[in-house]
Structure 1
């Protein structure tokens, strides 16, 4: 029996979000149990995924892969997106995991919708509505509980984890709103494929792939393969395919499964302990995502 399009879309976006959440937890295992460095994993993930996506686009043959090279402006824009957006969000996310855990890193990164909301309010000189103001307050409250465990006199995560977590949120916000013109010109497969490859190539000048530290074993090999294939390629494919069946705002709401899956798997598998205030912080930020997505959806309906 064939699934209805809407159900298929919902399942696809949930699968992609869960894979992203699990991928973060696998990365935590590689960093903390196997001694891998986030630098090495980031460049291998970006280079491998970028090459595979570009080969896929080439074999599919329905896109001009060399369009970008005909415009200096497009080239510079793509390089800027690759280094600041793609590489920035990948490295800052993995660095946050290294200094804390996958659950904390994922939750801090999910402050990005709040940053986007504030940026749009400033750039358009439009006062946020009540829903958006409530979302910002909830996000700040959630971050406070997550970082301090509800005690204003203490910080429950390291300063480096907090620093990279905030950077992760800002780069994720940049990744969201910057590449709109690139997506219109090149399409999502080429933008992400070139973005990953160029970002990974640029990072090789900072950290060479052959400078490896860590313990190779069957589990670590499986972990690396999972991060590259399932946490990047398959999750990306599922998310894009889901947009054929459901609205982007719905996909955004459903992707809140990611921080939940990262949190639960960190607790169950890696024995990460989260106190009640931290769980409350997670809930606050997930509610924030839902409020912002619903507010955007209501605006879209009003414009019709």
Structure 2
């Protein structure tokens, strides 16, 4: 059951990217506005869920040291906002497939972080994974012809930046998760992120998200692309080993390809398909590595 939960969560996230691509293509809504509104509504819903179930989490007073309260805005702005903003920008300027594949290359960046933290030399697995990821990205954006780009440079820029943001999102909140319930941390982080997003790019017309042609897509992005997959993923993490979770979440890029073909009528050449396989193979190679690099986390 837990494996199905991760698989469904990955597919829900894949559909969310495709829905966002259709939203940008069929309306005047821009990535900054969608980022702001999505985080605001999702943050409120997560906090409501936390307060409804707060009896299961105990009191927060004993955990709210000032140091951790200062880390929450950083998590919300650099982690949640950074990851969602760059992801939606990559979709708007490129496609859901490009954005999803590039963001899912974050484990390769985490590898470099782990090597730096452990002060060790890369092993053969590290070299193969890094090489595969680089080759895969090149094939994805060129289709195999390095003299031309199939994707705009700005989409590549945002996609790579989203991988860095995703790596930060994975690493930074580990100490916070040991002290705060996930719905509380995620809800508060999203509210911080939405406030920052609104500050840099104010949303002047909130009503555009409630128009008949927009509302179904927006609701799916908030509920189907955020709330449901998060709780499915959280449920699975309680019973599945990290390797299994990593393998199953690789369904997201492949789901993005399938749904883009089915619902958006997109087509992909062999070069792009091989590129996607290379990137995901690199992630799987790291997941199955017999010498996992796990940098020690700060206990502050």
Q: For structure 1, which segment, 163-172 or 203-212, has the greater mean C-alpha deviation from structure 2 after superposition?
A: 203-212
Return the match for 1:55 from 48, 52, 55. 48
> Displacement of 1:294 after TM fit?
0.9
1:22-79 alpha-carbon deviations (Å, 9 max, x no partner): 0000000000122221111111111111111111111112335754994221122111
Structure 2: tracts of 5 or more residues without a match: 295-300
Tell me the equivalent position of 2:109: 115
Q: 1:44 to 1:157 in 2, by over 3 A?
A: same
Answering whether residue 23 of structure 2 is matched by residue 22 of structure 1, we say no
Q: Is the 8 A contact 2:111 2:293 kept in 1?
A: no
1:124-166 alpha-carbon deviations (Å, 9 max, x no partner): 1112222222111100000010111112221221111011011
The within-5 A match list for 1:87-166 is 87-166=81-160
Counterpart Cα distance in 2 of 1:235 and 1:138: 28
Counterpart Cα distance in 1 of 2:170 and 2:77: 14
The within-5 A match list for 1:98-247 is 98-211=92-205, 217-247=211-241
> Displacement of 1:177 after TM fit?
1.0
Q: TM-score, normalised by structure 2?
A: 0.92
Counterpart Cα distance in 1 of 2:166 and 2:177: 16
Counterpart Cα distance in 1 of 2:281 and 2:42: 32
3-state DSSP class of the match of 2:148? coil
Counterpart Cα distance in 1 of 2:139 and 2:160: 15
Tell me the equivalent position of 2:297: none
Q: Is the 8 A contact 2:79 2:165 kept in 1?
A: yes
Alignment coverage as a number of residue pairs: 293
> Displacement of 1:296 after TM fit?
6.2
Counterpart Cα distance in 2 of 1:28 and 1:188: 28
Q: Is the 8 A contact 1:65 1:190 kept in 2?
A: no
Q: Is the 8 A contact 1:249 1:297 kept in 2?
A: no
Counterpart Cα distance in 2 of 1:228 and 1:50: 10
Tell me the equivalent position of 2:249: 255
Counterpart Cα distance in 1 of 2:124 and 2:148: 31
Q: For structure 1, which segment, 242-251 or 97-106, has the greater mean C-alpha deviation from structure 2 after superposition?
A: 242-251
RMSD: 2.0
Tell me the equivalent position of 2:70: 76
Structure 1: tracts of 5 or more residues without a match: 1-7
Q: Is the 8 A contact 1:108 1:169 kept in 2?
A: yes
> Displacement of 1:224 after TM fit?
0.3
